[in-house]
Amino acid sequence: MKKPEIIVVTAAYGTQQVAELGGQAALLPIIKDAGADGVEIRRELFSDTELTQLHALGHSIRQHQLSASYSVPEALWLEDGTLNPRLAQYLQEAEQLGAQRLKLALGYFVDLSDRQLVEVLATSGVTLVVENDQTPASKLAPMLQFFHRACDAALPLDMTFDMGNWLWTGEDALQAAAQLSRYVSYIHVKAAVPHGDSFRAIALDDADDQWRTLLNALPADAPRGIEFPLQGDDLRAVTRHYVDLLRAV
């Protein structure tokens, strides 16, 4: 069986370190040299100037022979239940990067009674992947409701399954995997531990083996995104270690 694609999420290096290295474009040689297949670009890490240079970044990603994913820290559905009015803009930004997928959180889904989402998705060749984030809006019940209805409506979208975020919503990740795996086309690999009254993500070498069990409960061919901390004196070596680890699981 073909090995799953391994993607490095730029945010795994930390906001400060990304800035010190010169922005997300400066990470591409590190990610490529580490043997990864792709990069997830984070909108929240862009300066205003960098947001006007998406074509150039997309060109650099292609030069490094990496696939691209694009993450926007917003929800698909707003608090009043309406569709995010900037979805079309974000899909266009993803296209400028040459991204295969655009990731947003679910947000406050109510229903699919109008065809606005269908119409917006029809304008783009980028796949929308909806993630379970760390808010109550992404608990298992609303996620199931949304994907059941999206499937019934034959919407061209999938799920990003964030392995760690179920801790923040207080739910069983294995149960979520059992019920949602049919919709999953992208995985955010993350382990976390209690931290104060919340949780914090940790490197896989510092975690128990529960992440392996959970990863094996998800589609084996889904790309695996590294979204846990990548830290150390030699970022290439650290990144390669985890790229190799995830490719072997």
Residue 5 has pLDDT above 90, yes or no: yes
Mean pLDDT computed over 156-172? 97
Residue 113 has pLDDT above 90, yes or no: no
Average pLDDT, rounded, for the chain: 96
Mean pLDDT computed over 65-79? 98
pLDDT of 80: 94
Percent of the chain with pLDDT over 70: 100
Q: pLDDT tens for residues 73-89? A: 999 999 999 999 999 99
Mean pLDDT computed over 61-84? 97
pLDDT of 64: 98
Which pLDDT band holds residue 114 (cuts at 50, 70, 90)? Answer: confident
Domains of the chain, start order:
6-248 (3.20.20.150)
Distance (Å, whole) CA 147 – CA 131? 11
pLDDT of 11: 98
Mean pLDDT computed over 88-109? 98
pLDDT of 3: 85
Residue 1 has pLDDT above 70, yes or no: no
Residue 127 has pLDDT above 70, yes or no: yes
Residue 183 has pLDDT above 70, yes or no: yes
pLDDT of 158: 98
pLDDT of 2: 77
Q: pLDDT tens for residues 12-34? A: 999 999 999 999 999 999 999 99
Structure pTM?
0.97
Mean pLDDT computed over 201-210? 95
